[in-house]
């Protein structure tokens, strides 16, 4: 039983560390950096719902379509 709890502990710890690293990477202003954002309005409905978390990566130039 102790071995199973130990494995679960390390899995949870690994997931938490991965999430923390993802948040840290998304906060620093590095060119080409990804950012985590929350959709605040219904402007992206029905594809992306209000309250969803999206991953955004900036590009050098944007094009219509």
Q: Which of 41, 43, 52, 58 is catalytic?
A: 41
Q: What six digits make up the tokens of 45?
A: 């409905």
Q: What six digits make up the tokens of 38?
A: 């929350």
Please state, in angstroms and rounded to a whole number, the distance separating the CA atoms of residues 40 and 65: 22
**6, 20 Cβ separation under 8 angstroms:** no
| 41 assigned to active site | yes
- Give the residue numbers marked as catalytic: 41
């Amino acid at each position: 039983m102790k071995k199973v709890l130990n494995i679960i502990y390390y899995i949870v710890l690994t997931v938490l560390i991965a999430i923390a690293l993802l948040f840290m990477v998304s906060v620093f202003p590095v060119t080409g950096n990804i950012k985590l954002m929350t959709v605040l309005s219904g402007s992206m409905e029905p594809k992306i719902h209000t309250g969803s978390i999206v991953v955004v990566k900036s590009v050098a130039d944007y094009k219509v379509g």
